Structure 1
Amino acid sequence: MDGQGRGSTRHPRSGPSLRSRLLILSAAVALALIALAGVSVWQAYRTAQEREEARLLATARAQADIVDQEIGRVEALLRGLATSPALDPLDAEAVLAQARQVTGELGGPIGLGGRDGRQALNTGATPATSATDLPVPPGLEAVFATGRAAITDLFHSPVTGEPAIAVGVPVRHGGEGPVLRVLEGSFPPARLAEALGGQRLPSGWTTAVLDRAATVVVRIPAETAVIGRPARLAVREELASAAEGIIPHLELYDGTLAVVAFARAPASGYAAAVAMPARELSAARWAALLRTGAAGLAIGLLGLGMTGLLARRIAQGLRDLGGPAAPPAGLQELDELGARLTAAASQRDSAEAALRERSEWLEASQSAAKLGTWEWDVASGAMRWSDQQYRLLGFDPSKAGAPDHEFWRSRVHPEDLPRVEAAGQEAPCSGKFEIEYRVVLPDGGTRWLAARAVVQRDATGQARRLLGVNMDITERHALEEEREKLLRMKDLLMGEMNHRVKNSLQLVQGVLLMQARGAPPEVAAALREAAARVLTVAVLHRRLYEEETQDGMTLDAYLSGLAEDLRGSLTGIAPVREIRLRVEPGLRLPVGQLAPLGLVVTELVTNALKHGAGPVTITCRRGPEGLELAVEDEGPGFPPDFDPARARGLGMRLSLGLARHHHGRLEIDRSAPGGRVVLTLPDVAGDAAPAGPA
């Protein structure tokens, strides 16, 4: 407490000064750096070797992937050809024509083999060499046993007389059932060499592609002398025990000592071996050693100098701080440290305020969207919910406790609980969780939720947790129920309308037929014809009502049913003869055009039956100007001076009027041997469109 009394007092030193301790520390650091440099030199030697070996192995993997990709392209080419309808039943000429179109891309012949081991056809067969004399390439018989694509090792092609590789794919009836034949394509090893040539190798490096028997298929740079030879014994032994690896010392066929990396292609079973001259690795190692040694020495010297300087500055700063009139800092580092601590505290306060604001914004957004977020730990079963998730279940988040599995189960509607739990159990395996279910609110009401979640996995691929959202979709379900109710009401209304229209048409038909009984023959015939037309309208109405769809009907189904109805409705009105249909598949018309089209067809068919001869043929196809519908018979045809526009018959005038109303035209084809009338309807949006999948 008495500062003046202690000012002249000398205290004995209790130990080394801070300066001495820092100098000792500097010496220890220097020694440690020297030792570390020695260890670093040794580690640099190993690191350089491992880095080069890793680079070599990565190149081998890339080459193996290219081999798989190229063989996969060949397989895809053959699989596309295997879907040809000409293969089942076999149309040899068509198959050969299709196969020859892709042989240029394949680079070799394409053949079709059977279970007897012989080929049924081959694009490379010549008059002197029958395809049946050619065997199925060795190894492709496995396609019949496994039902999967297969690849051969390098073999001598009897077609080209050169080494080749073949890929075979199964041919099945309709794409299903047992394998009937194997479609095989052969290609030269040069195809693989060309694909691998796009990947530039460092100078002096070589690549070899080996088949599953460890035979050399390709070598880059090219060396034909080694093609077809077995790989070195060490390579064969390593490939037999491992899918990839490094052979640190191997003498190549040309006597070069090399480091070899090999990798087997996972799909084809072929392998790529990349060799680097051993002298390059040695040079890289020594370069790394020299760089590491120089860097270690420089760092050691720099560390000693900086440590000495730091000791001097700290000692001086501490002495200044211990003085009676010490300045506020005395050392720039201390001043900077104080300023940074102050700034860090300010930044922390700002970050906390921003985090609170963002959390409030997120909660407000979730509340507005009726969206709750949740997390489920798969291993422990622990759950975490957002505040809005509690509100979706009808609870106040400030009063509810921590969520758990039993609490959540108690809120799920009992009828939905089994399928929700089943979806939750499948999610870790399937990787997704998507379901809609009901929850029971505390007041007894229900709410529909749509749950979506993603699965997060650990490094081993095991499911770790589910992160998901729940959305309130109660209003959507209410709208869907209202929609279903309106649809049922619409069906009832349409049924009642159909009943009334049908009864009215039957009444009109009955009145006409009743009047025809006592009328003169000419009037009776006209009345019966009118009754037949009313019956036709009734038939069209019934068919359109029973088969109405929003996107219309296919014309083949519509005209087929219409022809069947005409056979029954025209009995007694016109001679009944055969009615034939030739309708281009897939044509579709909207409901609004089906009724007029049916009336025109009815009138034309009726006229053909009354005035023509032979069978009546209805042809419908897509023409250059739109939909073309023709009705023809084998009778004498129309008189030369007959003009449809001046016809007095009700049927022809009705047909002309309907055609003009739909911007079409009705013409007589006088080049036909019999009577032929053609109705052309132009294309409009959605008309005569090909039918989509059912």
Structure 2
Amino acid sequence: MPRSSPTIRSRLFTLVLALVVPMIAVSAGGAVLLWKLDAAATERDALHQARALSAAVARELGLAQAMLWTLASSPHLESGDLRAFHAQLQQVPRPEDARIVLSDRSGQMLVNSHVPFGTPLPRRGDLGISERVFATGRAQVSDLFRAAILDQPIIAIDVPVMRGGRVLYALDMALPATLLDRVLAQQKLPGEGAIATLVDGQRAIVARTVAIAEYLGRRLTPEMQRSIATGEAGTIRSVNLNGERVVGAFTRVPGCAWVVLLGTTEALTRVALWHSLAIVSALGGGLLLLGLLAAWYQSRRIAGAIDRLATAPVAPRGSGLREVDAAARGLAEARAVRDRAEARRAEREAQLRTVLENMPLGVLLVDAPSGRIMMRNRRAGEVLRVTPGPSAGGEACCGWEGYDPEGHRLRAEDYPLARALAGEAAPSLEIRFRRRDGSLAWYRSTAAPIRDPANGVVTGAVVALADIDAERRAVAALAESEARYRALAGSLEVRVREETEARQAAQARLAHAQHMEALGKLAGGVAHDFNNLLQAVQGSAALIRARPTEIERVRRFAGMIIAASERGSAITHRLLAFSRQEQLRAEAVDVPALLAGLREILAHTLGAGIAVRVETDSGLPPLLADKAQLETALVNLAANARDAMAGKGTLTLAAAAVTVAPDDAVAHPVALQAGAYVRLSVADTGEGMDAATLARASEPFFTTKPLGKGTGLGLAMVRGFAEQSGGGLQIDSTPGRGTVVWLWFPAGMEPAPAEAPAGLAPRRATPAPQGTARLLLVDDEAGVREVLAEQMREAGHAVLDAAEGATALALLEAGEAVDLLITDLSMPGMDGAELIRQARRRRPGLPAILLTGFATEGAGPVAQGGGDGDVVQLRKPIQAEILAGRVAALLDREPALR
């Protein structure tokens, strides 16, 4: 071989190397450039597709909002008839599994289309959106949450129900998240491996084209959240929930805080890069050699394909160029997406039109810039006196041809439509329109603004016209009826008042006459008895004063004075019992034990000719009465029976349990209340009474006894005591066959505890004073004050006396040592009850005794005691021993004061 061969070979190698290396470099650079261009195109396509997805989601939400705005103007909500509104919801077509809820400000559900009306409903689980609706008065879209009733993930769309310029309710449509999955699935995604995701304001996944069951409710990674934090749209390069790097685009859904993301993992992008490099490396040389020849031919093919692509209504057949074919497929898919969206929009509009045409009120959609009617239902056309049937759009809405201006002087800008078009909350207005037949009818006009979800600009208004003519006529008729009723009631009231006043005047005159008659009888009887007593007291006192040195004579007449005073005290006690002013202390009384004790006493006191018998039922309940008064009443009845039998006969004391039924209470001879009673009876075998005597037997001061032998107060006192105790008295008598006196007393709940027979036992011995005390005695009667002071000094006490309350208080304020206060109740200026209260303010816990000659309510507050000391009420006249004993008892309770 020649020497030049290596040189030639090396030159040939160098020439080949010079050709191959640039070819390889150009091929690699071309592959990288192609990948970058493809990635940029993918990002642009993803951004455009993300915007299309966002528009589809916003359109779905907007249709739901339009339906809710229409329902918000329902007349049933205006009148508060929620049951009728629930029935209306059942007629409204809505997406599958969607439910409509009406709730108040607290989030409490009032109506739910998925459950029967009246079913107890919980509070809403998405209180945040409800609070925003009441705060802003604008439509809101919630984040993903779990429904309380359906127990599934849903989203809610809320609109306010406006009345009188304020939000009355929140009307909400809850849509299952699967509905938005279908919206995303209907869109064609660019390239293989692309995934579309819809997230809410909390960046939780609401819908996803792939594996939504696994990702529903999960929140995006922090890096992904930062990637979409700013801007309305853009590209992203971040990390997904699986830790993979993704590239793609995002855009926000108009009118809410939701975001649509569309992306592909970088791994799939790298596969495309390496594939391009392999192809370019293998075919780079051939393409380089053929490029110049094919350039002219390919340019003509590309230009022709582009021309056909721009003019073809559908995707052309394959041109042989990948880019051109891909663009053709993209345009065809975009047209298909547009056609599907148009079909769904038409379907939603048809549903909305069905709702509007079947609503019982007129509905109009008015354009904001032009003020023309863009859509209306048949009812609105009838009200506005235009051609019947639905509107095709474009009708004028400024004439209000049927409006009756009589009585209305509002400015044009004050009407609901004008205020809604201005973006204000429009209160409802009641106006009149003239119907086709010429009659005037009342309608309630309500309007609400419609805003662009993207920027909040008012684009129109929805107007509702509700026929309230029948309601207004009913209100007017009711007002007229009420006026006639008030006039009639006024005349009847005047007549009833006049008749009532006349009857009351007649009753007052009758009561006054009866009162004067009783007062005359009472005064005559009391005067007769007290004149006898005063005669005995005055005569005895005069004899004592005439011969004070004759001890036995003085003692005898002093005893007569004491006996007369005791008889006078007994008369006053009987008078108080008769007038029902005696203070009784009811207690459970064991009736068999009481009657047994009385039998032993009466057997010795009535005389040997009187046989006393006791008859009681077994298991007899106790009766409720003042035991001491009951004993006195029975003894008085026994004494009357003895006198009626002239000292010979049989006296029977009996007791039985009786029950007065409600039906028998009115007809009962004693007029008892319904309930359980114990009936006592005192029966004798005496001469009996005729009808005239029996009719007056219990009258005050009526007696058949000889003059001076009776006061006529015995039976009257017993009747008063029985009625005051809650029972009554009845007398039955026949001449020659004796007399029976029945007493009814309320029965206790349980049998009284057994106790020893207790008759009229003497009082217990009064405890003797336990030392000298310093007493303050107050009484306006000088004689009474002097006698009481001397009696207390005889009992061993030191006594300060005062004639009035002011003097007594001055002594206390001066620092006088006082252990106990004794005061009369009835005194001029300051009575005894007030004196005790004032004294105890100055000397807390000071014991006191209140003396009174009659029962009065004024003594009640201090007679109950309390505080650091105690208060006792005693009745005049009182024996010195009893008063001294009460003083000693009170001082024993207060050793510290002594």
| Shorter-chain TM-score above 0.5 | no
Shorter-chain TM-score tier: 0.3 to 0.5
Which of 1 and 2 has higher RCO (CA within 8 Å, sep 6+)?
1
- TM-score between both structures, scaled by the size of structure 1: 0.37
Larger Rg belongs to = 2
- TM-score between both structures, scaled by the size of structure 2: 0.29
